[in-house]
Structure 1
Amino acid sequence: MSTVNVLIQGSVVVLELNRPEALNAMNVEMLEELDRVLDEISQNEDVKVVIVRGSGNAFSAGGDIKMMLQENVGGDFDQVMDTIGSIVTKFYTMPKVTISALHGAAAGLGLSFALASDFVVAHTSTKLAMNFIKIGLIPDGGGHFFMEKRLGEAKAKQMIWEGKTISAEEAHGLGLVDSLVGDQMEEEISHRVGALLQAPLQAMLETKLIYTKQSLPRLEQILELEKNAQRRMRVSQDHREGIRAFVEKRRPQFSGK
């Protein structure tokens, strides 16, 4: 079974994260498939709009905890982080208008990925969390970059440190989400896509290109900083305690080490 479903509808492509049994948590297989699919879409000149959504009951719960347990801190770690960086960079810079359609949980790496899109649309019942801190890690996937872009440094830092789950309404008020939708998610997305396809997309994409070219060096710098910092955090006592507490379904006892 594919971990990323691709539905082509003329000049519109829908990407569906497809590990519903794991709330679309991103494992190595999904990351590699997503990287390949985004590469193909980026180079397809017929595609104008890309929509990303999750199958089942969530957009994405983030990185797969089982992957974190299995992955070593050597080459596998670097390869995974490089793939994550590649995914985010392609999604952020691709010459298409991109929309993330959130429902259920959008957390951790899943939230970082969603924030890389041009428009973030969320169902009113969505819960969002930049919750790496709860297992003694830092945001990756450009999470620091996108949070700062949308919230400013101070608020981004505070939200990352708190790691709390917030409602779609709170996220909308903060600017993490661009619009809220009730049970008419499909209709809202269709309406938005229809308007885009009737707009002067070439001019819109030139504006996107100006912003992404200006911002890309900083995004690449942050991805490298996240990779190096995450490597250090992966061997910390707090991360090991956070993972143990998660598996044992208890509150972690962090030591700051």
Structure 2
Amino acid sequence: MTVSNHYETVKLHKEGRVARLRLNRPKSLNALDAGLMKDLLAALKEVKKDPDISLVILTGEGKGFSSGGDIKSMLTLSGEEQFTGVMDIINELVMTLYCMPKVVVTGIHGAAAGLGFSLALASDYILCEEDSKLAMNFIGIGLIPDGGSHFLLQERLGTHKAKRLIWNGKVLDGQEALMKGLVDEALPSGKLEVGLQRYMKQCLAAPVKAMLKTKEVYVTLNKERLQHALELEKEGQWLMRQTGDHEEGINAFVEKRKPEFKGI
């Protein structure tokens, strides 16, 4: 059976045992504003409840997966209460994605930056195209990663390498990301869908209940650590938003110039 359900900014398509979710704000490179995050959370909860779905595939419409948090909408946040509300949505979104009792696969083309990259890291398997641009680039505006990335990067890289990646904010292409262990496959440009179809068939031909039981064991072992990391990120991000370096980073971004940080 085939079912399609379009939220305002997320396309959801179910066919057989597979649910495909597409971020759908292509004009903004699928920048994550509150509306998109709420739609994605609602779509994930719908899929989570569906007993017929075994595999979830997350991709982005248009020229990229996601450019990250929507900085323009971030600038409109006034006060700690509004900020906390947005961070709570982010945290629930990441926990729902990470704990999803399905195999979750992310397919990346173009940009996967900041919070967009965090969402990808919360999935079980990541494919990207070789010319993709992946970046944990919060440092560029004087912030720390959120979306659970401190925990998720530590899981993939170990603490020391995770710190280095976070601190330099370097943009990586698909092959570099594969070599570092940040993604699981790097495909030639334009071949993402071929890779997704191949991996989908591989999963559907496997004893998926056994795969999901293994996932459940790891989720049970790790979910409290992830929740703690998300709370620490929320506290830390609010503090960083009060710094002079964050103000300078935002001004430089808006003015399209290199920031001059002073460590304040």
TM over 0.5: yes
Question: Which residue does the alignment assign to 2:11?
Answer: 5
Indicate the SS of the match to 1:193.
helix
Indicate the SS of the match to 1:8.
strand
Question: Which residue does the alignment assign to 2:198?
Answer: 191
Residues 17 and 55, structure 1, Cα contact 8 Å, conserved in 2: yes
Report how far residue 121 of structure 1 moved: 0.2
Indicate the SS of the match to 2:75.
helix
Matched, 1:39 2:51: no
Matched, 1:72 2:78: yes
Match of 2:24 among 2, 18, 22: 18
Residues 31 and 67, structure 2, Cα contact 8 Å, conserved in 1: yes
Residues 115 and 146, structure 2, Cα contact 8 Å, conserved in 1: yes
Question: Which residue does the alignment assign to 1:54?
Answer: 60
Letter in 2 for 1:154: H
Question: Which residue does the alignment assign to 1:124?
Answer: 130
Question: Which residue does the alignment assign to 2:170?
Answer: 164
Report how far residue 92 of structure 1 moved: 0.6
- Structure 1 distance, partners of 2:181, 2:16, is 31
Indicate the SS of the match to 1:147.
helix
Matched, 1:206 2:213: yes
Letter in 1 for 2:103: V
Pairing 1:89-128 to 2, within 5 Å after superposition: 89-128=95-134
Match of 2:157 among 151, 155, 158: 151
Indicate the SS of the match to 2:115.
helix
Question: Which residue does the alignment assign to 1:139?
Answer: 145
- Structure 2 distance, partners of 1:5, 1:207, is 29
Runs (4+) of structure 1 exceeding 3 A deviation are none
- 1:209-243 Cα offsets, whole Å, 9 max, x none, are 00011000000000000000001011111111100
Report how far residue 73 of structure 1 moved: 3.0
Residues 73 and 234, structure 1, Cα contact 8 Å, conserved in 2: no
- 1:178-214 Cα offsets, whole Å, 9 max, x none, are 0111232212211111111111010110000000110
Report how far residue 134 of structure 1 moved: 0.2
- TM value normalised by structure 2: 0.96
- TM value normalised by structure 1: 0.98
Most deviating of 178-187 and 110-119: 178-187
- Structure 1 distance, partners of 2:127, 2:195, is 9
Letter in 1 for 2:95: T
Residues 108 and 192, structure 2, Cα contact 8 Å, conserved in 1: no
Indicate the SS of the match to 2:79.
coil
- Structure 1 distance, partners of 2:163, 2:56, is 30
Report how far residue 36 of structure 1 moved: 1.2
- Structure 2 distance, partners of 1:12, 1:116, is 18
Indicate the SS of the match to 1:223.
helix
- Structure 2 distance, partners of 1:131, 1:74, is 23
Unaligned runs of 5+ residues in structure 2 are 1-6
- Structure 2 distance, partners of 1:73, 1:179, is 41
Indicate the SS of the match to 1:155.
helix
Indicate the SS of the match to 1:66.
helix
Unaligned runs of 5+ residues in structure 1 are none
Letter in 2 for 1:128: L
- 1:70-99 Cα offsets, whole Å, 9 max, x none, are 012321111110110001001111110010
- Cα RMSD (Å): 0.9
Most deviating of 3-12 and 182-191: 182-191
Most deviating of 63-72 and 184-193: 184-193
Question: Which residue does the alignment assign to 2:4?
Answer: none
